[in-house]
Amino acid sequence: MAKPFLLGVLGGMGPLATLDFQHKLLAATPADNDQQQLPSVVWNVPQIADRQKALAGSGPSPLPQLLHGIEKLNQAGASHIVIPCNTAHHWYDELSAASAAPLLHIVEATIESLLNLPHKPQRVGLIATQGTLDAGWYQRGLSGQHIDVVLPTADELAQWFVPGCYAVKRGALREGGELLTRQARALLERGAEQLLLACTEVPVALEAVAAPFLSMTHDPAQLLAQRCAQIWLEYRHSYFAHTQSNNLNK
């Protein structure tokens, strides 16, 4: 048998987004009892330096603290590690190189899921931090599938996205939801058929205000949780088959 499955979650970015991801893991995992649920160990330490400020050159790099979290998750026995923060994937290569456990990439899980949609959209609006937008991960992935990407303008990011995101971080979910709803509507008005909520604070905020277009959105954190659940179910099936075979041979 392979190493026992234990999902490591490098969280704290922000802490509410990490809790939301844990809830998404539970929702994505079919289980009849506690023992069938996905096992995880979570590093939910919000003192990690601000990712947006670091990439903007106005704050320290979070990399040392991220590496510390990766070290702790490996020490805890994680077989796989995920990062429920899109912007933190800027340091994915360094974190992956430092980890014995493989890191699942949130963008790869998202694009893979979009490919399986019964009706692939032609134009997708992308809601994300400036750092994620500058990295171009989602734009390249979507363009590679011949999907046009509608991006926020600089004014929209300054007026709606950034203050909306930080409102969520301080617990003002309704304020954040109202601001991020304006950002979402602007992308829809410019022709986006569906929205990719590529910042883990955004789905929490939009749900808080019951945004009417939620059915038109895709949440990378949820899609990542579904990928984790799939890996766990494959392991659980293999473990059950292996255990059953051993019992028969006794």
Give the class (CATH, top level) of 107-218: alpha beta
Q: Is-catalytic flag, 199?
A: yes
Where in the chain is CATH 3.40.50.1860?
7-104+222-249, 107-218
SS (H, E, C) 7-74: EEEECCCCHHHHHHHHHHHHHHCCCCCHHHCCCEEEECCCCCCCHHHHHCCCCCCCHHHHHHHHHHHH
Mean pLDDT within 131-157: 96
Do residues 60 and 106 touch, judged by C-beta distance below 8 A?
A: no
The percentage of residues in the chain with a pLDDT greater than 90, rounded to a whole number, is: 89
Report yes or no on whether pTM surpasses 0.75: yes
pLDDT digits (tens, 9 = 90+) for 97-143: 999 999 999 999 999 888 888 888 899 999 999 999 999 999 999 99
pLDDT tens, position by position, 211-248: 999 999 999 999 999 999 999 999 998 876 655 545 54
What does the alpha-carbon distance between residue 231 and residue 111 come to, in Å, rounded to a whole number?
A: 17
The angle that helices 173-189 and 162-169 make with each other, rounded to 10 degrees, is 150
Residue 89, amino acid: H
Which residue is catalytic, options 10, 168, 196, 199? 199
* Catalytic residue (one of 82, 83, 85, 147): 85
Active site residue 228: no
Task: Report the topology of domain 7-104+222-249.
Answer: Rossmann fold (3.40.50)
